[in-house]
Structure 1
Amino acid sequence: MAALAVSRFRSVLASAIARRQGRSPRVVGTLYGRRRGHFHLSFQLKPQMQPLMLLELPTATSDATLSINTRCGYAFRRECRPEDWKALRAVEKVSVGAGVLPATAGGDGLEGEVMYMRAMFERVVGSKDTEAFYMINPDGHGGPELSVFLLRE
């Protein structure tokens, strides 16, 4: 419960900072996961900072029929673990892009290849129980390529 309160506080603080600077809240979003694992979605104010929110998604990375616009389900919000930090640190210098991090040897919690996608997202708060993240298209044309809608129960 305390971890959820700290995570919520970070999210509210980031929104307040962005509003004070006169711009919409923009965050760095990283979607990543090990092959034959689950996707994780991290939102950070800056790539070097603790995630404002880290979600474990119900979608498996091995799902070959992944169609983002028909996917919904329960995501689990949790604190950043050492294996999450390892993945986020590995893509820290990437501003926008997608790729695969090579497999690592040893029992460091990040064995196997890690697929990732990183982009800037605009955060829109609908109410205390709803928020949305819209991926900002890097070329400035067209609408968002990916939208994430969150509803608290």
Structure 2
Amino acid sequence: MGEPTSSHTAKASSTTPPPPPPVPLSPKISLVQPSQKKKHKPKMVRVFRSVFRSLPIITPVCKFPSLPAGIPDGHHHHHHLRTVNGSSGGTRVSGTLFGYPKGRVSLSVQETPKCFPTAVIELSMHTSALQKEMAAGMVRVALECEKRSEKDKTRLLEEPLWTMFCNGKKTGYGMRREATEEDLSVMELLKAVSMGAGVLPMRSGGGDDVDGGEMTYVRAPFEHVVGSKDSETLYMLSPDGNTAGPELTIFFVRI
């Protein structure tokens, strides 16, 4: 028998299936830009808030079972007005806490779940530690930074670094950062979710071997209340949309 002809070789190679195309590490991003609309508050509302900004917070009981709110015990020098009937005049935003169990948890704030984040803040707590705090009861996170001069127009949520307290205990520092490709992938995967909690398998392998590449998340609507240029608060809303009794409250303050 002679060696196979070139035609036989071509025929044999043509039966071998081509390799599959590479799987993309992240989904196609279809998020939209936020509206950037400025909401001008009536003068009387601004005056009312400036007068009552020193009143203590009111936090009625909420029956939402998985997340927790208020001001940390060691921070009674920062008082905020909180109304029971939900008439505080805040704006509704989407908030997502996400991270690998052994990694630091991040907070993403979006105008709606379909928008690019307006702020991404990396908090100084492991995701698993924050989950334990939320399972134990009401969670109060305070992010503090130093006051700026009157001429400085930097917005509070644009501050690069905060000292972080969780339920009155100093935990380290929170840091604002630009949204990464992985952050945007998470927001894209959760685009249709307005409220919920769960685990996302991440192909990028950002977690360590213990995490197995799984990222946990909690997403909920928040009421964003601006008390002044040095004081803003995110109150987590309950499932029925009532603003009373948030289980998780995040305070941003300049002191």
Bin the TM-score by the shorter chain: 0.7 to 0.9
Matched, 1:32 2:108: no
Q: Please tell me the residue identity of whatever aligns with 2:245.
A: G
Deviation per CA, 1:19-56: give whole Å up to 9, x if none.
69xx6311000110012111000110011211111100
Tell me: higher relative CO, structure 1 or 2? Use CA pairs within 8 A at least 6 residues apart.
2
Tell me by how many angstroms 1:74 deviates. 2.3
Tell me by how many angstroms 1:18 deviates. 8.4
Corresponding residue of 2:250 = 148
Rounded Cα–Cα distance in structure 2 between residues aligned with 1:138 and 1:32: 19
SS in structure 2 at match of 1:88: helix
Q: Any conservation in 2 of the 1:86–1:110 contact (CA below 8 Å)?
A: no
List runs of 5+ in structure 2 lacking aligned partners: 1-32, 43-88, 134-138, 141-166, 208-212
Matched, 1:79 2:181: no
Q: Any conservation in 2 of the 1:19–1:25 contact (CA below 8 Å)?
A: no
Q: Please tell me the residue identity of whatever aligns with 2:230.
A: D
Corresponding residue of 1:7 = none
Tell me by how many angstroms 1:101 deviates. 0.8
Closer/same/farther in 2, CA of residues 33 and 79 from structure 1, 3 Å limit: same
Instruction: Count how many residue pairs are aligned between Structure 1 and Structure 2.
Output: 137
Closer/same/farther in 2, CA of residues 64 and 95 from structure 1, 3 Å limit: closer
Q: Please tell me the residue identity of whatever aligns with 1:37.
A: G
Corresponding residue of 1:49 = 115
Which of the pair is proportionally richer in helix?
1
List runs of 5+ in structure 1 lacking aligned partners: 1-9
Structure exhibiting the larger radius of gyration computed from Cα positions: 2
Q: What RMSD in Å do the two structures reach over aligned CA positions?
A: 2.8
Which of the pair is proportionally richer in strand?
1
TM-score, with normalisation over the residues of structure 1? 0.76
Corresponding residue of 1:97 = 196
Tell me by how many angstroms 1:65 deviates. 7.7
Q: Out of 94, 103, 119, which is 2:220 matched to?
A: 119
Q: Any conservation in 2 of the 1:29–1:121 contact (CA below 8 Å)?
A: yes
Corresponding residue of 1:5 = none
The percent of aligned pairs where both chains have the same amino acid is 42
Rounded Cα–Cα distance in structure 1 between residues aligned with 2:118 and 2:40: 13
Of 135-144 and 94-103, the range deviating more from structure 2: 135-144
TM-score, with normalisation over the residues of structure 2? 0.48
